[in-house]
Amino acid sequence: MKKIKIKTEYIKLDQFLKFAGVVSNGGEAKMLIVDGNAKVNGEIELRRGRKLRINDVVEFKDNEFVIV
């Protein structure tokens, strides 16, 4: 599990996927999220604007990240 540190109160899911380097742009992130390829805290998340906060766990394409 990779730890990703944020300096703000939260980060939106689509922004996080770009920040973590698993997608190259926002359009790609949007398509993959809407298709059900992202999980937050073990549940499929379809909202690209989902706010991620410290200790949230994101699963995406065989990668697992925790927000710190």
pLDDT tens digit string along 1-27? 999 999 999 999 999 999 999 999 989
**Residue ranges of domains in the chain:** 2-67
Distance CA 8, CA 24 (A): 22
What is the band of 28 on the pLDDT scale with cuts at 50, 70, 90?
A: very high
Please state which CATH number belongs to domain 2-67. 3.10.290.10
pTM: 0.90
